[in-house]
Amino acid sequence: MTSTDDNELGARREEGPQALVGLSQLALDHMEQGVCVYDADNRIVLVNQRYLSLFNMSAETVRIGTSYRDVLAHSASLGNFPASELDALYTRRVKQIAAGQPFRTEQTLASGLVMSLELKPLPGGGWMTICDDVSRLARLEAELRLQTERSQHALANMSYGLIMYDADSRIVVCNERFLNLYDLDPNIVKPGVAHSTAIDHWLSRGNKADMSGDKFRDSRMDDVRARSPKAVLVTRYDGGKVQAVSRFMPDGGWVTVHEDVTERLQYEETLKQQNMMLDAALENMAHGLAFYDSDMRLRVCNNTYRQIYRLSPEQTRPGTHLSELIERSMRNGAFATEYSPQEILETARERLAHRDSSPMRRRMVNDTVISVRYCALAEGGFVATYEDITEREHAVEELSEQYRRFDAALNNMSQGLCMLDSSLRVIVCNRRYIEMYGLSTDIVKPGVSMREIMEHSCEIGIHSNTTGAKLYADYVERLREGEHTLHRHLSDGRIIKLNHKRMEHGGWVVTYEDVTERHKAQARVAHMARHDSLTDLPNRTLFHEKMGDGLNQVATAGGAMAVLCFDLDNFKTVNDRFGHAAGDRLLRWVATRLKENVGEHDTVARLGGDEFAILQRGPQPQSAEKLASRLVDIIAQPLQLESQSVHVGVSVGIAVAPDHGLDADELMKCADLALYQAKAKGRGAYQLFEPEMEEEARRRHALEHDLRGALEANEFHLVFQPQVRLDTTELTGFEALLRWKHPARGLVSPAEFIPLAEENGLIVPIGEWVLRTACATAAPWADLTVAVNLSPVQFRSRGLVTMVTSALAEAGLPPRRLELEVTETALLDDSEATIEILHQLRALGVRVSLDDFGVGYSSLSYLRKFPFDRIKIDRSFVGTLGESPESVAIVRTIASLGSVLGVETTAEGVETIEQLDFVRACGCTAVQGYYFGRPCPAAEVGRAIETLNAVRRVA
């Protein structure tokens, strides 16, 4: 063999394994399952295309040598599972693989496909995963479960009892309704039990048929063998009746449905009794009566009808046509007429077509007069009544002469008048009565019944929302009570007074008087006494009446009722600023918003001033809190008054009956306490009453009593907290802070007594004492400033500028060394007036700072309207710098804003070196807080100055 032959043989030997690998890879790529093989280091050594396509993964990423973790990371980036689960999933899988046992799991991909993954360790080290798309199988299993659940739900919720047997007469299934129907034991009557066993247990529970138990058993088995559908009526253990209907199936089994027919059988028996009573009533009627179908064929008639028309029972059999009845009656000599039977029949058809139920008079051969009425039925056909009115006709004739005598007098009366006989038929009426109701003289005349008049008046629209029949029934009921007066409210708004007097020989005299204007005047007076004249809402009197009615209903019928008390925020400011006319417009606007947002049966009232209240039924307190929240948001919306946008807002207190009592005064007291709490929360809020509020109110009352004497008793004192420049750490001044040391209570928190002082106005004299004391204390402090807080209430009181001027002069303190701090609340109350006062103070040379900036409303318009010397950043932001990104952003923004506007910015509440470094980095120009010193009494201010100066020299 030559060397060339040796080379070719070697090449073929190398190509053999590569070709085998290529063929293996080709086979793997055409598999329906995805396959990926990893070595002992969890790196891919073999992967097919199906694995990549199932997970939508890239062949450039997932290839030989790629680690298992990188494969999972790539799969997570495609959305096949959350990236947050990557580490946990990788750790769990590697741990399971290391255990050396194969395991299976499922994974739902982002595409919605469900993958089955089987992971197997390999004998020589390493492992492999085999993946398959089982989405269709999962859907089929889910659909099968859903179908099974639906079938079971339908079976369990059937109104009928159901039991099914197989071809071997054994129970396949029965529902709960079947077991409950017969009081059967589910441990006995269950799938697999024989039919005979079920029958025996059924009989043992007291259920029975209309035969002995043995016969019933045999009868049921005969039915099964005959395989013929059959209905059986059986009696339950409690006496109820059940109808069992069996149906047989092709496979040899059968299903029996059991229906409780107790009520149906009782109803059928009741109906039978009613029909017997109806027949008896029909035959004993004084009037003739006949029913006809839509083809004018007789269905039923009474004996009176036969007597009137001289017809025999054979001649009035059901199905006889009306034309034939007319002909037979005429032949029998009942009546004679110039009209033919066919013409009489056509007249009847025309009346029925036009639904004309007015009476027709028919004179019989024996000189009796019969009133005939045809009344069409809604479901087809008609009913005819035949009334002997001979005596009535004679009475009418006798009264005619008397009627003519009184006609002139009657028709000249100012009141309407109508005389009725004992059957409530008109004897006489005057023209004024007819004109008053706008009635037709063709209908309202002697002999017509009051029922017909009322039907006529309803037809022409005199009485709305009623019918002639209802009106007449009510009228008859009232007349049974005897002589009386009633008022009719007509559809055109008029009110007619009807006065009924009995006549000596029976019947009635009725007079009619138009009292519309009189009633309107009375109604106006009554309405004004119980309603607010400005808003037309119920006033306090009517509100308490309705509250009493509501509480009685709650006490007797249950349920709940809420009382919501409303108080407008800043209403006095609107009155003072825009005048009382604008305040009235605001109150009407609020009343309208309240009425628009309550339920149909709720009551809205104005109790006085800017106080409103609502009574609300329903589930409580949820309904009341939802309503209160909505109204707080609505009334907080700006309102245009005098071409300016006004913010008012509302505070709401809620009390609920019966939880908080069933006494009206007690419930109002609870709502008022809740309202006070809502206002204490900062206004523009609602509060549900809590029992603790009563104790809080007593405590607050006692605190208010002590507060009124605190100033005179010299219980107040000031403490001073240093303020330091950041760039030089130079002490610039102190803020004067008010403290109250009560002889019994000890130190009372300013957060507790200052809002109380603002509410009752004591803050004005207390604030003046603070200002004068602070100025006098600061006078000897070289060039240091003293900062004093002003309450919004002080801006509303007169003489603030004069008081500041007097305090500076009295202490000999230069105005530039006094800094007055105001809050955004003071600006919100009456922005324009407050800004004007600030300009007057600024003209004195006093510095003005905006305190607690960043909380509250934080309107930049305040900084535009007035050039503040300083913005103080609230301590709540500084204290959360290390926890809240929002606080960091706010501090930086305010500091930048101050830098742009050329205004100093002081960070309050700095307690640590980290906070100090941060506010310095943010650009704040000054700080105040425990880091540089706690508030100290006036006697210790000198030592604090020396300490801070020493710190500065060291720095």
519, 495 Cβ separation under 8 angstroms: yes
Describe the chain by its helix, strand, coil percentages, rounded to 5: 45, 25, 30
pLDDT at 115: 87
Q: pLDDT tens digits, residue range 548-593?
A: 999 999 999 999 999 999 999 878 777 767 778 888 999 999 999 9
Judge residue 253's burial from the number of C-beta atoms within 10 Å of its C-beta, 0-12 exposed, 13-18 middle, 19 or more buried. middle
Q: Is the pLDDT of residue 855 over 70?
A: no
Contact 154, 162 (CB under 8 A): no
Q: Are 704 and 671 spatial neighbours (Cβ–Cβ below 8 Å)?
A: no
pLDDT of residue 446: 92
pLDDT for residue 12 is more than 50: no
> How many other CB atoms are found less than 10 A from the CB of residue 585?
17
Q: State the sign of the Cα–Cα–Cα–Cα dihedral 720, 721, 725, 729.
A: positive
Nearest of 470, 591, 590 to residue 531 by alpha carbon: 591
Q: What is the pLDDT of residue 11?
A: 46
What percentage of the chain reaches a pLDDT higher than 70? 91
Sheet architecture: strand order including 127-133 = 44-47, 34-38, 127-133, 114-121, 103-108
Strands 644-646 and 416-420: unpaired
User: For residue 684, is it left (φ>0), alpha (ψ between -120 and 50) or beta?
Assistant: left
Please tell me the least confidently modeled range out of 96-100, 496-500, 731-735, 741-745: 96-100
User: What are the angstrom distances between the C-alpha of 603 and each of 120, 224, 538, 594?
Assistant: 75, 69, 8, 10
pLDDT at 25: 58
The 10 Å Cβ neighbour count of residue 851 is 24
Q: Give the DSSP letter of residue 314.
A: G
Q: How buried is residue 906: exposed, middle or buried, by Cβ count under 10 Å (0-12/13-18/19+)?
A: buried
Share of the chain above pLDDT 90, in %: 39
User: Angle 804-809-813 (CA atoms, 0-180°, nearest 5)?
Assistant: 90
pLDDT-derived band at 399, boundaries 50, 70, 90: low
Per-residue pLDDT at 254? 86
pLDDT single digits (tens) 349-385: 998 888 898 888 888 888 888 889 999 988 889 999 8
Between 21-30, 79-88, 663-672, the lowest mean confidence (pLDDT) is in 21-30
- pLDDT of res. 110: 76
Torsion angle in degrees (nearest 10) through CA of 198, 201, 203, 207 = -90
pLDDT tens digit sequence for 100-140 = 889 888 888 877 788 889 999 988 788 999 998 887 666 66
Looking at residue 143, its pLDDT comes to 65
- pLDDT tens, 202-259? 999 999 888 887 888 888 888 888 787 778 889 999 989 999 898 888 888 889 899 8
Q: Tell me the C-alpha distance between 567 and 576, whole Å.
A: 17
Query: Is residue 304 within 8 Å of 387, Cβ to Cβ?
Result: no
Rounded-to-integer distance, Cα 911 and Cα 603, Å: 54
Q: Are 801 and 818 in contact (CB under 8 A)?
A: no
Which two tokens mark 76?
Answer: 């997570």
User: Are β-strands 495-502 and 44-47 bridged in parallel, bridged antiparallel, or unpaired?
Assistant: unpaired
Cβ neighbour number for residue 813 with a 10 Å cutoff: 21
Q: What pLDDT is recorded for position 148?
A: 56
Read off the pLDDT band of 633 (50, 70, 90). very high
> Of 783, 816, 781, 793, whose CA–CA distance to 940 is shortest?
781
Mean pLDDT of 609-624: 93
286-296 pLDDT per residue, tens: 788 899 998 99
Across the range 670-679, mean pLDDT stands at 91
Global pTM reads 0.43
- 613 exposure class (CB count in 10 Å sphere: 0-12, 13-18, 19+): buried
Rounded to the nearest integer, the mean pLDDT of the chain is 86
